[in-house]
Structure 1
Amino acid sequence: MFIPGSNLPVGPSPQGQADAALQPPAQAADDRRLSGDITMWCVIALEMLTFGLLFVVYAVARAQDPWVFRTGQSTLDLRLGALNTVILLTGSWCAARGVQALRSARATAGARWLWGAAALGTAFLVVKGFEYQQKLHAGYGLESDDFWMFYYLLTGFHFMHVAAAVLIVAAVAFLVPRRPWGPADTQAPETAAVFWHMVDLLWVVLFPLVYVLR
């Protein structure tokens, strides 16, 4: 820019320099992106819809025969359900810490946190398997009544999702030392963590619905 009648250039004003300094870096736009892979989010949306429909059908069936459902619920062990809730919530925390560590280029710490999440998921499966064994030994099977049909359907479907989450997180943890994941690329770990959080959220709804609400 030139002042009319003068050959002296005029630089940016101090105010303009201050405004430029306050502008966020171009990378800030990337921070607002959706974590994980968009395909996984589509899968999660489908899974949430499926579980949502199952929850609605369960609620309708319970309203039609509340005595059968209350009787079945009274035999469930709330302590095991609560323990598994704590296990999954802690696993979600570990998965989140793992992704955070990888974003900070701390690969060893990231792998450890992800292995911790996988171990907690395995613990959930062991506790749930023990609970299944107890109920089957007591004579409560899939064909016993409507409550037990829904119990095994809902918790069994969720059990398979936890097993899948454990495999996904463990696979990512195994690959951490072999892949250059870091601040510029954490999509795969984020995708694994997002799936884990979905499994956690489903249990947070399923536990009170099946175990607690009368």
Structure 2
Amino acid sequence: MMPSALARSLPAQVSDTRHLAGDLAVWLIILAELLAFGILFLSYAFARTFDVALFNVSQSTLDLNSGAINTALLISGSWCVVRAVEAVKHDASTAGARWLLAALACGSGFVLIKLMEFSAKAQAGIDLSTNTFYMFYILLTGFHFFHVLAAMVFLIILLVKTRAGRYGKHNHHALETGAAFWHMVDLLWIVLFPLIYVMR
């Protein structure tokens, strides 16, 4: 093949292999959610500058170990989702279903730990009106918590369909969509954990 002919053929070949990993509508939702959380993160940082001492004292009541374990759980869940997608791409639906189940186990662990944390704060009489820090803490972690639940519902649906053999090498678009949403939840926590639990 002449160089000029090769050059003409490359764009078509490249365009055939490029595709959006997941549904465009879900990506728009992800961008909107990232924007909403970004505004909340900036609001938190701005409010902190007005009463650093209060924020530091309130942060010291949070359980860093639980937060770190939850970070490990969500990152592990993301890895499991990636493995599930890769397995299904190779027509290994059974393995893909197992990886999705493992991701759900990680998500369940996160939910359990967060429920224990929320329960402890409620028993201590802490709510949105306690102080500015706890208002942001409850809003941010609570908002994220419901996103984790939504992502788990998404994964449960995908797990059922994967077990039924609905996905394979030429049909894994829905799995990539679910993976994208799960990774967003993971990314948000990676920012939220150091911001709320660690930074002084």
Give, as a single letter, the amino acid of the residue that structure 1 aligns with 2:43: V
Moved more, 47-56 or 23-32: 23-32
Q: Which residue of 2 aligns with 1:136?
A: 122
Residues 77 and 107 of structure 2 are in contact (CA less than 8 Å); yes or no, is this contact kept in structure 1?
Answer: yes
Q: Which residue of 2 aligns with 1:58?
A: 44
Shift of 1:33: 1.1
Deviations 1:147-186 (A, max 9, x none): 1110000000000000000010111011113243112121
1:182 equivalent among 155, 164, 168: 168
Shift of 1:30: 3.9
Give, as a single letter, the amino acid of the residue that structure 2 aligns with 1:142: L
Identity of aligned residues (%): 48
Shift of 1:27: 6.5
- What is the TM-score with the length of structure 2 in the denominator? 0.92
Shift of 1:188: 0.2
2:57 equivalent among 24, 48, 71: 71
Q: Secondary structure at the match of 1:29?
A: helix
The answer to whether 1:37 aligns with 2:4 is no
Q: Which has the larger radius of gyration?
A: 1
Distance 1:25 1:105, change over 3 A: farther
User: Structure 1: which 4+ aligned runs deviate by more than 3 Å?
Assistant: 23-31
- What is the TM-score with the length of structure 1 in the denominator? 0.87
1:194 equivalent among 156, 177, 180: 180
Partner Cα separation in structure 1 for residue 105 and residue 10 of structure 2: 40
The number of aligned residues is: 197
The answer to whether 1:118 aligns with 2:104 is yes
Shift of 1:80: 0.2
**Structure with bigger RCO (C-alpha 8 Å, 6+ apart):** 2
Shift of 1:28: 5.2
Partner Cα separation in structure 1 for residue 74 and residue 39 of structure 2: 23
Distance 1:41 1:123, change over 3 A: same
Q: Which runs of 5+ in 2 are unaligned?
A: none
Distance 1:46 1:212, change over 3 A: same
